[in-house]
A and B are shown apart, each in its own frame.
Chain A
Amino acid sequence: MTLRTLVRYATLLLCGLLMAAPLFYLLSASLMSAQDARAFPPHLLPPNVVWHNYVEAYEFLSARAIVNSFVFSIGIVAVQLVISIPAGFALATIPFRWTGLLLGVILVPMFVPANMTLIPLYIITYQLGLVGTYAGMILPVAGQTAFAMLLFRQFFAGLPAGLIEAARLDGAGWPRVLTLIALPLARPALAAYCSISFLTAWNTYIWPQVVAPDREHQVMTVALAPLAQGQYTLMSPSVGLAAAVISMMPVLIIFLVFQKWYIKGVVGTGLE
């Protein structure tokens, strides 16, 4: 019994370490000097910790890209929240004859791959005159509200019906029911939604690259990407890795804090 448990723990730990190994190595190599990073046999841990890599990485990314990443991600989450919460609430609780049809319309494009709509989406953004602007970066992504609407609908549908009825009988209008009763209870759904969307937005590469790749609007993923093809060969590879670590920090923190809700949200909507 104890031996079996021990073997099980060992296997669990080993496989887990194997999965996380590339990221551990990323962290470790980002702190190596250029020579140590290229040495053979390779070092798994930095023989001398070179913090200066992070200073250079910060200069390479520029504060602008970091700010842009936050503007982009928070913008998407904020716009989507404001429009999707009432929609999800209405689809779950307000009697409405078009609810079924709307849900059908929302669900159909979920399996259309994103790159299929990329070209028309770019053209629409271009026609709206939003190419190369923050609005052009944020609005077309924020408009993909299916996931948010479904997530909030699912949550609000799970609230006890009596609660909302009681409020309605007391004469509260729908906006009051939403803001004073449903919303304060929606913290788990909010945590799931915010962590998932922020992470997704933060990690998005293709849309900001297509619509606003200039220095002024560049987000961190766009700034990082050229490094993968070694286009900055004069720079120590460790500096590039340090830049990758910097760009990963906010989502890492959010992921560790919101892990439970994040997983629930991802698995819950994935199963529908």
Chain B
Amino acid sequence: MMATVTSTADGRAVGTSPPAPGQDGNRRRRRRDAWAATAFVAPSMLAFGVFVIVPALAGLGLSFFSWDLFTPPEWVGLDNLARLFGDGRMWGSLWVTLLFVLLGVVPTIVVGFVLAVLLNTRLPGVETLRVLYLAPMVASSAVAAVLWAYLYDGRTGLANSMLRWVGIDGPAWLSDTTWALPALSLMMIWLALPLVMLLYLAGLQRIPDDIYAAAALDGAGLWRRLWSITWPNVMQTTVLVTVLQVINFVSGSFETALIMTGGGPLDSTQTLALYAYRTAFEKGEMGYASALALFQLVLIGVAVGLVRLAAKLRSAT
């Protein structure tokens, strides 16, 4: 990506040189280019600085303060960090986060891959059918929450009505400490599938056809081709998708959990991200909430590192 910039820049620097380029003219043009570039980039970078860079850095710094927004912030050093490790609710929310990732990420990847393989065909009409698969993309977390809360309703929801048909008495999904988290995961998987599927589809379309032709000549069956050709060839996509989905389930998910269950019942759906949010906006403890968010960022970093390591080990063997 960066290579493109330098090569075009170089190419143009050569190309735009007048027939007899004096040192002076060159320098003047370069200075003019620099002014133009600065003016073009400045507004966007300024906004980016104020609303992205500063908050990111401030998030780090805030972890060392105690602040309720109304009285001046007070330096507390590593107190927030110490409090974090002794906080039972934090450990509870960490456990919920891990469970959520386990329940959510793997199914999202497997199903997303299978759907992409299914859609990766030149049969006429597939483009039209694809719209059905992308449907969840238009649902906001609020819409999805309202809809799924209705489906999950213990007495009148469609989920339990269907279970009753086969003779099972379903739980009140979202107010049951055991079932609330799996129920949330299912909804999150549904919401995440389109993007995963699209990324896999793009990966699949880069696999050259002749590999399959050769395998077919060797008599490799459908499963064999899927497992030995398709899956290894989309490894890069799998790494990307895994990273994106770990982030999605660790942090992106707190919005839906907040809307649907508010973290309950009995904190059974309170992820670390949601705990941080509630600490900040319900209890007004900005410093401690920042420490929690920072801890969550570290966890994501570790998870991403593990995923990349696993991918490297796999491609090495």
Q: Spell out A's residues near B (CB within 8 Å).
A: 5, 8-9, 11-13, 15-17, 19-20, 22-23, 25-26, 29, 37-38, 40-42, 82-84, 86-87, 89-100, 102-103, 105-106, 109, 111-124, 126, 139-146, 148-149, 157, 161-162, 164-165, 168-169, 173-175, 178, 199, 202-206, 210, 220-222, 224-225, 227-230, 237, 240-241, 243-244, 247-248, 251-252, 255-256, 259, 263, 266-267, 270-272
Q: Do B240 and A270 touch (CB < 8 A)? A: yes
Known contacts A17-B132, A142-B47; A157 and B8 CB within 8 A of each other: yes
Chain A residue numbers with a CB within 8 Å of B78 are: none
Q: Do A256 and B131 touch (CB < 8 A)? A: yes
Q: Is there a chain A Cβ closer than 8 Å to B226's Cβ?
A: no
Of the 9-residue stretches B89-97, B137-145, B211-219, B308-316, which lies at the interface with chain A?
A: B137-145
Chain B residue numbers with a CB within 8 Å of A272 are: 1
Chain B residue numbers with a CB within 8 Å of A140 are: 51
CA A225 – CA B262 in complex, angstroms? 11
CA A112 – CA B290 in complex, angstroms? 13
Q: Do A173 and B36 touch (CB < 8 A)? A: yes
Chain A residue numbers with a CB within 8 Å of B252 are: 113-115
Q: Do A83 and B9 touch (CB < 8 A)? A: no
Q: Do A26 and B147 touch (CB < 8 A)? A: yes
Of the 9-residue stretches B79-87, B100-108, B118-126, which lies at the interface with chain A?
A: B118-126
Q: Do B41 and A90 touch (CB < 8 A)? A: yes
Q: Do B133 and A244 touch (CB < 8 A)? A: no
CB distance from B261 to the nearest CB of A (A): 8
Q: Do B139 and A106 touch (CB < 8 A)? A: no
**Sampled A-B contacts (19; CB under 8 Å):** A19-B132, A83-B43, A90-B40, A96-B41, A103-B2, A113-B296, A115-B252, A117-B56, A119-B289, A120-B59, A174-B37, A203-B141, A222-B142, A224-B143, A227-B149, A229-B149, A229-B260, A237-B150, A267-B201
CB distance from A259 to the nearest CB of B (A): 7
Q: Look across to chain B and name the residue whose beta carbon is closest to the beta carbon of A156.
A: B8
Q: Do A248 and B143 touch (CB < 8 A)? A: yes
Q: Point out the residue from B2, B4, B48, B148 that lies within 8 Å of A146, measured CB to CB.
A: B48
CB distance from A133 to the nearest CB of B (A): 15
CA A97 – CA B240 in complex, angstroms? 30
CA A115 – CA B97 in complex, angstroms? 14
Chain A residue numbers with a CB within 8 Å of B132 are: 13, 16-17, 19-20
- Chain B interface residue count: which class? 35 or more
Q: Do A86 and B41 touch (CB < 8 A)? A: yes
Q: Do A97 and B34 touch (CB < 8 A)? A: yes
Q: Do B4 and A157 touch (CB < 8 A)? A: yes
Q: Point out the residue from A93, A124, A248 that lies within 8 Å of B139, measured CB to CB.
A: A248
Chain A residue numbers with a CB within 8 Å of B201 are: 267
Chain A residue numbers with a CB within 8 Å of B47 are: 83, 139, 142-143, 145
Q: Is there a chain A Cβ closer than 8 Å to B229's Cβ?
A: no
CA A62 – CA B248 in complex, angstroms? 32
CB distance from A107 to the nearest CB of B (A): 9
Q: Do A120 and B290 touch (CB < 8 A)? A: yes
Q: Look across to chain B and name the residue whose beta carbon is closest to the beta carbon of A5.
A: B123
Chain A residue numbers with a CB within 8 Å of B194 are: 19
Q: Look across to chain A and name the residue whose beta carbon is closest to the beta carbon of B145.
A: A228
Q: Point out the residue from A95, A122, A149, A266 that lies within 8 Å of B30, measured CB to CB.
A: A95
Q: Look across to chain B and name the residue whose beta carbon is closest to the beta carbon of A256.
A: B131
CB distance from B174 to the nearest CB of A (A): 8
Q: What 5 A-B pairs have minimum CB-CB distances, sorted nearest first? A: A143-B51, A16-B132, A203-B140, A113-B251, A90-B40
Q: Do B240 and A116 touch (CB < 8 A)? A: no
CA A251 – CA B289 in complex, angstroms? 34
Known contacts A90-B41, A95-B12, A124-B55; A19 and B136 CB within 8 A of each other: yes
Q: Do B123 and A124 touch (CB < 8 A)? A: no
Q: Do B137 and A90 touch (CB < 8 A)? A: no
Chain A residue numbers with a CB within 8 Å of B64 are: none
Chain B residue numbers with a CB within 8 Å of A100 are: 2, 5-6
